[in-house]
Amino acid sequence: MLEFAWPWMFVLLPLPLLVWWLMPPYRARQASVQIPFFERMAAATGQAPQRGAVVLQRRATQMIVAALIWILVVAALARPQWVGDAVTREVSARDLILAVDISGSMDQRDFRTPDGQVLTRLDGVKRVIKDFIARRRGDRIALILFGTKAYVQVPFTQDLQTAAQLLEQTQVGMAGQQTAIGDTIGLAIKTLEKSTAQQKVLILLSDGNDTASRVPPEHAADIAQQNGLVIYTIAVGDPGASGENRVDLATLRGVADTTKGKFFRAEDGAQLQAIYAEIDALAPAKLQTLSWRPKLPLFQWPLGAAVVLGLLLWLGLLAASEHGRRPAAHA
């Protein structure tokens, strides 16, 4: 459908008429020769001398072409454009962060898969998280890895394949042997500072207790709650372990409760898959509908036509002038 972005420009159409009616005619002074016997010369040629300016008559073709040029210029100024059919797209209004513990204890081989294999905790978690990432169609997803330190492995992206590949390359101990849950939550808050998503979710997976954070997890959870971040915590590992390998269930549960999330325990692949399914149900993706109509600018066509008509008019007037200057042929 043809539309004009600036239709009010058409008020300029009568401007040449107003200039023609209100402005005085253009006057030009020309050099002349004073002849003492002017009256006798006029009588000899049969002409009657008159006073006043000579008004040059414009050709009808010249006026018509000039009017067309002005109409085309105004049409170009009005920004004509071809507006296509509406295009609607639904995108997720959720930013989701996966925070995965890669401390030394994640190297223990006690993670059972649904088909009975026994893997290291990290390898088992990778397998399940990979499937979870593949289902995040429309979500913006980020990946944080943490041990003694926390760092962003994958910034927010919708390239799920790349996120899964970078997760697969993760190794135990890349971020240190200890566990920093509080600092991980703080990094997630910082990562979400510029997020405009309606829903902000952090899934934090750990198999140890907090031993390296500069910010206590409880304090970090309070700040997360103030920033609208919901945290789902997942405890992986043997609850009967002690020392640095002990799973701090109370801390993980407190973090989830503070941010109105939920705490889960996962000891094998089947439980972890069920947890991710439950998280999907608890925090369904909010879809945001984006609608736009493609617009193709067309101003170049009337503008180009005006330029071509102007050149043709100039060439025509030039040819007529040259023809009028040629001396008449005599037999």
Tell me if 252 is assigned to some domain.
yes
* Whether 143 and 225 share a structural domain: yes
* Whether 257 and 310 share a structural domain: no
Q: Is the pLDDT of residue 43 over 80?
A: no
* Whether 68 and 139 share a structural domain: no
Q: What digits encode the pLDDT tens for the residues 73-93? A: 999 999 999 888 777 665 666
* Whether 141 and 237 share a structural domain: yes
* Whether 201 and 60 share a structural domain: no
* Whether 172 and 133 share a structural domain: yes
Query: How many residues make up the chain in this entry?
Result: 331
pLDDT given for residue 245 in this prediction: 60
Q: Is the pLDDT of residue 260 over 80?
A: yes
Tell me if 144 is assigned to some domain.
yes
The mean of the pLDDT values for the chain is 82
pLDDT band at 191 (very low <50, low <70, confident <90, very high): very high
Say if residues 94 and 136 touch (Cβ distance below 8 Å).
Answer: no
Tell me if 330 is assigned to some domain.
no
* Whether 127 and 268 share a structural domain: yes
Say if residues 140 and 95 touch (Cβ distance below 8 Å).
Answer: yes
Tell me if 152 is assigned to some domain.
yes
Count of domains forming the chain: 2
**Closest C-alpha to 248, from 330, 180, 161, 173:** 180
Say if residues 103 and 147 touch (Cβ distance below 8 Å).
Answer: yes
Q: Is the pLDDT of residue 273 over 70?
A: yes
pLDDT given for residue 38 in this prediction: 72
Which residues make Cβ contacts (< 8 Å) with residue 174, sequence separation at least 6? 102, 145, 147
* Whether 76 and 117 share a structural domain: no
pLDDT given for residue 34 in this prediction: 72
Tell me if 178 is assigned to some domain.
yes
Which CATH number fits the domain that encloses residue 121?
3.40.50.410
194 alpha-carbon distance from chain centroid: 15
What's this model's pTM, rounded to 2 decimal places?
Answer: 0.61
Provide the domain limits for residue 254. Answer: 89-290
* Whether 181 and 44 share a structural domain: no
pLDDT band at 331 (very low <50, low <70, confident <90, very high): very low
Task: Give Rg (Cα) of the chain.
Answer: 41
* Whether 112 and 176 share a structural domain: yes
Tell me if 331 is assigned to some domain.
no
Tell me if 315 is assigned to some domain.
yes
* Whether 113 and 233 share a structural domain: yes
Q: What digits encode the pLDDT tens for the residues 45-74? A: 777 776 655 556 667 787 888 889 999 999
* Whether 65 and 112 share a structural domain: no
**Closest C-alpha to 112, from 276, 273, 279:** 273
3-class secondary structure per residue, the chain: CEEECCHHHHHHCCHHHHHHHHCCCCCCCCCCCCCCCHHHHHHHHCCCCCCCCCCCCCCHHHHHHHHHHHHHHHHHHCCEEEECCCEEEEEECEEEEEEEECCHHHHCEEEECCCCCEEEHHHHHHHHHHHHHHCCCCCEEEEEEECCCEEEEEEEECCHHHHHHHHHCCCCCCCCCCCCHHHHHHHHHHHCCCCCCCEEEEEEEECCCCCCCCCCHHHHHHHHHHCCEEEEEEEECCCCCCHHHCCCHHHHHHHHHHCCCCEEEECEHHHHHHHHHHHHHHCCCCEEEEEECCEEECCHHHHHHHHHHHHHHHHHHHHHHHHHHCCCCCC
Tell me if 110 is assigned to some domain.
yes
Mean pLDDT of 204-230: 89
Question: Mean pLDDT lowest for which of 41-45, 121-125, 127-131?
Answer: 41-45
pLDDT band at 189 (very low <50, low <70, confident <90, very high): very high
